[in-house]
Amino acid sequence: MFFLAYLPVLPLKILRICLPQRSYICTTSLDNTNEGRGKGDECMQKKAWIAVVCLLALLTLAGCGKKSQEDVITDLTNQVSDMKGYQMKGEMTLKTSSGDQEYDVEIWHKKPNFYRVSLENEGQDHVQMILRNKEGVYVVTPALNKSYKFQSDWPNQSSQAYLYESLIKDLQEDKEAKLKETEKTYVFETKTNYSNKDSLPTQEIAFKKDSLALESVKIKDTKGNIIVSIVFDEVKFNPSLKEKDFDTEKNMTSMKLNEEELTVSDEPFSVQYPMLEGLEGINLIEEKEVTTDTGVRHVLVYGGEKNFTLIEEKARIESAIAVETVAGEPVDLGLCIGIFTDHMLSWTHNGIQFYLASTDLTAEEMAEVASSLTNAVMK
List residues bridging with 352 in a β-sheet: 314, 349
Question: For residue 106, is pLDDT > 90?
Answer: yes
Sign of the CA dihedral with 356 first, then 357, 360, and 363 last: positive
Question: For residue 151, is pLDDT > 60?
Answer: yes
Q: Are strands 185-191 and 202-208 parallel, antiparallel or unpaired?
A: antiparallel
User: What does DSSP assign to residue 30?
Assistant: T
pLDDT, tens only, 61-76: 444 567 899 999 999 9
DSSP codes of every residue in 220-258: E-TTS-EEEEEEEEEEEES----GGGG-HHHHHHHHHHT
Decide: helix, strand or coil at residue 300.
Answer: strand
Question: For residue 331, is pLDDT > 60?
Answer: yes
For the entire predicted model, the pTM comes to 0.74
pLDDT at 11: 44
pLDDT, tens only, 356-379: 999 999 888 898 888 887 544 333
Q: Kindly report the average pLDDT of the chain as a whole number.
A: 81
Instruction: Determine the Cα–Cα distance for residues 369 and 373; give it in Å rounded to an integer.
Output: 7
Question: For residue 135, is pLDDT > 50?
Answer: yes
**Phi first, then psi: what are they for 9, rounded to 5°?**
-95, 0
Instruction: Determine the Cα–Cα distance for residues 301 and 288; give it in Å rounded to an integer.
Output: 9
pLDDT, tens only, 39-59: 555 655 665 555 554 555 544
pLDDT, tens only, 12-30: 443 344 444 444 444 444 4
